[in-house]
Amino acid sequence: MSNILSKFLKKYNFLDANKYSVLHCIQYYVNGIFEEKMMKKNSIFTIIFCVVVLVFVVGCTSTKDIAKAMKTNNIDVKPEKTVVVDWTGRSVGVSDSPVWLESLITGNDEVFKNEFRIDNSYVIKYSAGKGKTADIAEINSRLKYNAMRSEELKSTVMSENGASLDNKGVFSGHQALRTLVAPIKDLSGHELVTQFWQEVVSIDKITGLEETEFIYYSVYKVLKKEWLETIKSYMQSVIPTLPDSESKTKVAASINKIYERTTSNDIKSEAELRSEISTKQEAIRNSDPSINPDDIEWLDVLETACNIIF
């Protein structure tokens, strides 16, 4: 099978990785056999032979074979093409991916505040969910809000305190991943402002298979003083679980820095955002191999969002 793929890649030089699918490879394989056999056998036998070969190749060829051949030949393509086919406000001319939404995802809430006339005494936070229907996606979006805020604060605490406490192993390995994961008990003052949905078709560039799903964003405003209380609520849950008094004292003393970092507007590049998402996915999965995929679904949504934005 590797020889067939090599010939296929060599013939077309894979100038357009999106253009050729598994069926192209099969067609090339069968045509080659057809041309050779026509010189030796009658046409009826050749047709029967090609049909048998076609069935065999379809059964034996895996997308991993194709992907491996592409990698070997230094073909760098994104695995999926993502297309938004319907969305909130489409009928009245709203963009399929509003600037304010893109800005929020990349780390800046100023565009959203201007769009929705929200003053600077608030900080903007959002959640994301997906589903086979818009209704399911909306429910998942609302349910994931707490998990996203907890992950945001956990990551910031680790980033802020990791260097000083890493010698104790507090913020490394599975211990940190388990210790700092805690639902936020108090989300008082988090007020829903708007929601936005997209119907998305993801097309696998290797197999050509399509998958349709809905993704839903729920955007909240929180008074900055209320956001500080949210941080304290999170800290009250995680600080008692830290292993020693030094760790507890240092993490508690970093509350104001955590607040400053989580209310800043530092825009992330595509590379930074994708790396952050990938790192979190890997870290969460490695912390517990039996983890429910639904628990990190929002990270998959952000990965899809990157495919749309960039």
Query: Is the model's pLDDT at 9 over the cut of 60?
Result: no
Write out the DSSP string of 76-123: ---SEEEEEEEETTGGGT--SS-HHHHHHHTT--HHHHHHHT--TTEE
Where does the pLDDT of residue 151 fall: very low under 50, low under 70, confident under 90, or very high at 90 and above?
A: confident
| Residues 61-119: tens digit of each pLDDT | 444 344 444 334 444 445 568 899 999 999 999 999 999 999 999 999 999 999 999 99
Where does the pLDDT of residue 121 fall: very low under 50, low under 70, confident under 90, or very high at 90 and above?
A: very high
Where does the pLDDT of residue 171 fall: very low under 50, low under 70, confident under 90, or very high at 90 and above?
A: low
| Residues 21-77: tens digit of each pLDDT | 444 444 444 455 434 444 444 444 444 444 444 444 444 444 434 444 433 444 444
Amino acid making up residue 70: M
Where does the pLDDT of residue 229 fall: very low under 50, low under 70, confident under 90, or very high at 90 and above?
A: very high
pLDDT of residue 34: 38
